[in-house]
Chain A
Amino acid sequence: MKRFIYTILTVAALASSCTDLEPKVYSNITMEQLMSDAEQNSGYMLSPVYGQMRWFFEDRSVWDLYEIGTDAWVVPINTDGGWNDNGIWQRLNKHEWYTTDPHFSEVWTHLWYGITSCCNRALYQLEEAGVELDEATVAEIKVARAHYYYHLLSFFGNVPIETEFDVPEGYLPETRTRKEVYDFIVSEIRGNMDKLTEEKTYSRFNKWAAKHMLARVYLNAEAWLGPEYASKRDSTIILCDEIIAGGRYSLDDSFSHVFSLDNTNSPEVIFSIPYDETTKSPVLHCIYAKTFHWAGKAVYDAASAGYNGLRAIPSYVEDTFDAEEDPVTHNCISYNDRRYADTYLMGQQYDYVTKEPLSLRLSNVDVPYNHTNHITSPTAAGEFEGYRYGKYEIKIGQKWETDQDWVMYRFGETLMMKAECLLRKGMAEEAAEIVNEVRARSFDENLPEDVRTLTAGQLSATVEVNGVPVRYGEFLNELGREFCGEAMRREQLIRFDDVYTKGSWWGHTASGQEHLHLYPIPDSERITNPKLKQNDGYPE
């Protein structure tokens, strides 16, 4: 027995030298590596601060929440049942969304990832690693973080404010009021914008991009927080004037050039979110994949076909633009505003190679590939019905992986923000002057003046938009023409006499429910964090 025990002990002793369980990592960067090489890696660690913003324009992300559910864009159910998706697009359109709908959780996740992982974490870890970031870089990260918060403020309003990455175990963020979030964003931008470079940076926040963003936050403050914030329009004017006086940006001579493949060289672009075919996912979804018919490949000799989803709402096209349509064929006959053709893909499409008109054989009939401004119904859209998103230049050989750069903030908007504030302050003449300055490039100069320009009277009048009287309604229409599809429409409709909930348009009936100004806090988040409060008007 002794020998037996001895043997066991020998075996055990032998074995105990083989109890090393330290894991070996091969294909990842460990925390130790990250921290010890932080100086050298800081560029890679900071890249996601902007990289994450490319997710805003993916399917079911930020762009969708700004544009779908407004009077401008719709994703109907196709006659073949496509885009039914359990009704999520229909509910957006009708403002009957559920707290469980995927758009809200996707957007929430994208925005918070930008804040916690891309900004807060990078700041914390670089500091921990002893990497000295210069003041301008820290300021830039904080402004970029404010950019994520701005969308949270616009969509969800009442959200937590988190600036620390290193939190105690079990820590759960609490809902802060929309006003607190607003104050935080304003103070972050104000406190940092003047530390940023004044040079043009295109895809990074410089001083001017920060000021532009702040101007937009101020512009919406009244609609978000109440009439006492009406005075913020003065701040918007000051910020816009600073950008104008800075002299770095000017209106592009050509409207379409701003959205071209060459827009890197447009003098109008203040801040853009660039994409490249080689960087693959995420992609700019709305400009091609979501909207083009699959037969659209032939039009651009494209490598990928579209999903035939996103379409322009016919009533918007009809009411907003000065164009004439054949009432029977719904084909456009004539238009004066060049932005009409620069905004939509419409009419008969032609094969890029043969230049022949395209058609598709459906139900034994050749149906011409012709986008008309008519959709049978939101739940039964024919193959080619409806105009398509056509603002960005499509590349010959276009892929799902986009090469276009999204224009986030542009000088044209700087001018129009100023004009809107002047108008609201009663300075309609000054406003009209700016509006016409922006309009000028979009009209043939031989056209009569009353076609090319808008008067102060027209701009300050109350006109009917989407069936309800709207103060400065023509200015809203002008915003609709200039910025169609640029992820601004929801804010515009809320800002102008709440057309968002009071107006009715094709496929959408007015609800008058003001709580819809805020989207619901996604269910999935509230399950995991009981400290998040649901926005008013939504089921607890």
Chain B
Amino acid sequence: MAKTGINRLLAVCLAVIMSGLAGLASAQGFKVQGTVTDSSSDPLPGVGVVEKGTMNGVVTDIDGRYEIHLSSPEASLEFSCMGMKTKIIAAGGRGIIDATLEEDAIGLQEVIAIGYGAMKREEITTSITRVKSDDFIQGGVSSPLGLLQGKVAGLGMAVTSGDPTASPSISLRGISTLAASSEPLIVIDGIAGGSINSVAPEDIASIDVLKDGSAAAIYGTRGTNGVIIINTKSPQAGNATVEYHGYVKMDGMIGQEDQLSAEEYRSYMQNPDFAGMGMNDFGGSTDWVDEITRVPVSHNHYLALRGGQKNTNYAASVTYSDRQGIYEKSMHRSLAVNVALNHSMFDNRLRINFSLKDKIVRDGYVPGEIYSQATMRNPTLPVYDGDGNYYETSNGQNPVCALNEYTGINNSNHLSMSGKILIEPVKDLRISATGIYQGDFNEDEWAGSHRTYAAVYGSEFGSATLSGGHGRDFTMELQADYSRMIGDHNISATAGYSYNRYISQSWNMKAYDFPVDGFGVWNIGSAESTLEGLSSLSSYKWERKLIGFFGRVNYNYANRYLLMASLRREGSDKFGANNRWGWFPSISAGWRISNEDFMKNVGWIDELKLRAGYGVTGTEPGSAYQYISLYNFNTSYMSYVDGKWINGIVPSNNPNPDLKWEEKHEANLGLDFSVLDNRLHGSVDGYYRYTKDLLYTYTVPTPPNISSSMLANVGSIMNAGIEVELNADIIRNRKVNWSVSSNVSFNRNELISLSNDMYSLEYLKLGNLSHVQTYSHRLEQGWPVGNFYGYRNAGLRSQGTQWRIVGAENSAAGEEQKTVLGNGMPKMFAAISTRLDFFGFDLTLSFRGAFMYQILNQYRMMYETLAWLPSYNVPKSAFNKIGEYYNCAPSTYLDLYVEDGDYVKLDNVTIGYTFNTSRQKIVKSARIYVTGQNLLTFTGYKGIDPEAVSITGLTPGVDSCEKYPTLRSFTLGLNISF
């Protein structure tokens, strides 16, 4: 059975059918019965039991029991089950044969999701990394992506914010697109395009990351940035199990910018060196960061129920999460329900699955600039004036006022419903139809009171913005699977059709000047602006359609030679009629060297597989309708004609009728190995990605164009890299287990061209450093994405009031003096984690790092100069002389502030204890643990946290002043099941 199995479902179903057939054929044979258990003596249901060399087989029931009639008492029984090592036992005339299956140490038998199907790990020919729940990052992880941190070679991830509502920023194998998002496609239980945050991390059984083009091409157009397939814990036949997982988490700041305290500020004020610098003592002593922060406490509860019979089983879970942010009002509360129901009948020839996921979320958010306002605000300013009003100046809003007087709440609901029916009309052929609805509803409240800066000094005496959106995503998929084994030839094929339609509706209303404070957004009709016709109202609706036909063929010869080919024909309504449809083929092959005869004698090698693949994926533009001319009313073009204001109709886009698919071609070469009795195993992958017809909003000449930007397919980009995953089981015995797993990846990126016959462009200026009115990055042909581009300094001049720029030492510098100052994209990521299990205790340590890149420290760039002293606080480092002068020059974008970002983090330490539950019958398992996250950072970077810097997009590596600081956290958790 193991040889013929294509996937888990197939294995089970074939076994069931065979058992039916066998029942007829050999009812009079030699009867054998028994129980199959795992190493901890728990019964194993669903294990295939086959008389070796025949089609005669049965499946164990929920108590692990089986009964089979053998053709001969001397026959051998083969027991196989996913995740377990296959075992062969000669019957030897015995009537009762109990079997204990060992867990497959490296999960070679594991079934990996490959997109519209699943496959045994040993048969995989593409680059896929599976992370199982045992290996997930532990301790209060809020986003499922966080579970993967440091677990997948080539998946760069950075937690850029301590905001409880935020997700980590991720990139897979560099940057292979310019305009579109670099987010991988998320597939949740076979449903593509879901929102990653709609799943509770506790509900996830495993995550498969499809990295290379040949793996992702079956998803055609959405797989360019890779595919992350999330498999939730599925219903399992057997006694009902109740699982509870709860934790409490506390966060704290890692550190902060070294701005002056009030005391330090006053002492510098006394210093004759800094007299005349315009420092102002307002008489107060305020620690602004302390004023706006708190010690947040979060808790999370997960309760799941799973059970059922062989034919009908279920899984249901409820997750409640209450996460506090470092600021009052910053929070995330959610309640998620996940229900799955499976039923099979007519000897498993008809199977029905229902799934329902719903999550309601209430997020609280705060003005984005309060942290930067707190770090730059004069520490001698009091929070309140004598009358109890906020003490305001012209130099930025009082952050306490901003925090208290603005309220931002986002309510959302994420619903996913799906139903699937699968029939098996003839043996080996399965046809299924799936219907999926995903609905996202979102309502955003943003209100400012009568006490905000804008109310007291600006034009809005109380303001309210109520906006909302409703996204509806309909998918229909038809699929047929066929598999057949003829001798050593094992063939399977899949063909399908996918229809996807997404409709987005959004609306927004904004009013200001409220007669009474306290309505928030819930009485917009009472605002003066509404009465005067000045409130703004808007609504917008758009849709897009994506239709795909796909097919895949797998061929396996004698478990030695593996071949997979897939093809997807996909159409998108974001392109004109001539460019709508694209072909996205892939082919990959594998050679299991270890199964060759000549390797039989090489005992120390358990598994050796060489893989090679090539695949094409496509990217469609982010927004719809870019190829057609659209017009709209726009009040910016209103004119006053004959005593009346007439609205203007103007083009709302600069259409490009030639718009077509952006194509990524990727080749991947890999080696999987497992040696020394599976103690050392891992993989090495090398890849080359070439993306052509890059979609990007290009600057076009005006005239003849009506506006200066147009979305066009121009240029190409290349990424190449190496990924290594290495795992070692150093100690492996009953009481003590010690394992180490590590991965490292290198990526090289190069923009090959930005031009075609229509558009020619040598470089792009990217990234707006609005505070210093210049751009941060330049992207030029032949360069990697993410090059910082600016001036090199040659010290200060003019008593420190101006910078000397290399190349223009004594004059004003221009564009010619700018050079490359570094690159914001890490070239190397590495992670290592170790787990030690001893006598019920477990200890996990994870280190993670990013290397070979630079960060623009915007806080230093902005405030490490005494020129700001009349208005703002500055860091202590601003009082160091540079050469012979103190820096009194205006904030300037210089090489001085582009620092090496390399870091290594002790990211996670978890200590757990698993109770021995074998002596009683109520509790099946119980574990408590404590986790510390983001504990230590080893880096030369001068900012707070080098990881809190986005490394995605075209302008990576900018550490912004307007940040939500990243946090260190401690979690205490309990996991118990009954």
Contacts and interface: CB of A to CB of B under 8 A. Distances in A.
Interface of A: 3-4, 7-8, 11-12, 14-15, 18-31, 34, 41, 43-45, 47-52, 54-55, 77, 79-81, 84-88, 91, 96, 98, 100, 102, 108-109, 112-113, 115-118, 121, 160, 162, 167, 169-173, 201-204, 274, 276-282, 294, 297, 302-305, 308, 362-364, 383, 399-400, 524-525, 527-530, 532
A27 B632 CA distance: 8
B497 A81 contact: no
Contacts of A31: 628-631
A48 B650 contact: yes
Given A4-B429, A112-B702, A80 B499 contact: no
Interface centre among B461, B630, B650, B868 (most CB of A within 10 A): B650
Contacts of B534: 277-278
Interface centre among B497, B637, B650, B698 (most CB of A within 10 A): B637
B760 A530 contact: yes
Contacts of A88: 773
A48 B637 contact: yes
B649 A26 contact: no
B815 interface: yes
A51 B648 contact: yes
Nearest to B282: A364
B630 A47 contact: no
16 contacts: A7-B429, A11-B431, A30-B628, A30-B630, A44-B646, A47-B639, A48-B650, A50-B640, A81-B891, A86-B772, A86-B774, A100-B815, A162-B703, A201-B642, A525-B702, A528-B698
Contact of A170 (B542, B758, B868): B758
B703 A116 contact: yes
Contacts of A52: 637
Interface centre among A26, A34, A91, A297 (most CB of B within 10 A): A26
Interface in B510-547: 513, 532-534, 536, 539-545, 547
Contact of A79 (B278, B636, B646, B708): B278
Contacts of A34: 631, 649
B870 A162 contact: no
A299 to B, nearest CB: 13
A15 B478 contact: yes
A80 B870 contact: yes
B641 A204 contact: yes
B457 A4 contact: no
Contact of A41 (B649, B702, B870): B649
Nearest to A27: B540
B699 A528 contact: yes
A201 B638 CA distance: 17
Given A116-B705, A305-B458, A203 B639 contact: yes
B139 to A, nearest CB: 44
Given A113-B706, A173-B701, A86 B478 contact: no
Given A26-B541, A30-B628, A113 B707 contact: yes
A525 B701 contact: yes
Interface string B886-909: 000011000000000000000000
Contacts of B642: 201, 204
A281 B649 CA distance: 16
A107 B590 CA distance: 60
Nearest to B426: A3
Interface in B636-662: 636-642, 645-652
Contacts of B395: 80
Nearest to A161: B703
Nearest to B543: A24
Nearest to B758: A170
Contact of B459 (A98, A113, A400): A400
A469 to B, nearest CB: 30
Contact of B706 (A3, A117, A525): A117
B547 A108 contact: no
Interface in B545-567: 545, 547, 549
Interface centre among B278, B458, B544, B774 (most CB of A within 10 A): B458
Contacts of A24: 543
B573 A160 contact: no
Nearest to A298: B457
Given A21-B571, A203-B640, A363 B625 contact: no
Contacts of A26: 540-543
A293 B703 CA distance: 39
B700 interface: yes
B572 A524 contact: no
Given A112-B703, A528-B700, 17 more contacts: A7-B480, A11-B478, A15-B478, A18-B497, A23-B544, A25-B542, A28-B630, A31-B629, A48-B649, A51-B648, A100-B815, A108-B702, A112-B702, A160-B703, A281-B635, A303-B513, A305-B458
Nearest to B496: A11
B638 A51 contact: yes
Contacts of B461: 303
A7 B430 CA distance: 10
Interface in B272-326: 278, 280-283
Interface string B458-481: 111100000000000000101010
Contact of B649 (A47, A383, A532): A47
B330 to A, nearest CB: 28
Interface centre among B699, B701, B814, B815 (most CB of A within 10 A): B701
Contact of B639 (A21, A48, A109): A48
B704 A3 contact: no
A47 B458 contact: no
Nearest to B580: A21
Contacts of B580: 21
B701 A279 contact: no
A282 B636 contact: yes
B633 interface: yes
B870 A276 contact: no
B624 interface: yes
B888 to A, nearest CB: 11
A278 B459 contact: no
Contacts of A308: 394
Given A31-B629, A117-B706, A170-B758, A49 B639 contact: yes
A180 to B, nearest CB: 15
Contacts of B632: 27-29
A308 B871 CA distance: 15
Interface in B591-637: 624-625, 628-633, 635-637
B108 interface: no
Contact of A80 (B429, B544, B706, B871): B871
Nearest to A43: B646
A484 B428 CA distance: 89
A55 B707 CA distance: 15
B457 A297 contact: yes
Interface centre among A26, A54, A308, A528 (most CB of B within 10 A): A528
- Give 3 nearest A-B pairs by CB, closest first: A86-B773, A529-B701, A51-B637
Given A28-B625, A81-B871, A362-B280, A117 B646 contact: no
A528 B457 contact: no
Contacts of A100: 815
Contact of B630 (A25, A49, A203, A524): A25
Interface string B932-970: 000000000000000000000000000000000000000
A168 B572 CA distance: 27
A118 B631 CA distance: 12
A361 to B, nearest CB: 9
B759 to A, nearest CB: 7
A12 B548 CA distance: 11
B166 interface: no
A32 to B, nearest CB: 10
Contacts of A282: 636
A283 to B, nearest CB: 10
Interface centre among A15, A22, A116, A304 (most CB of B within 10 A): A15
Contacts of B282: 364
Contacts of B429: 3-4, 7
A19 to B, nearest CB: 6
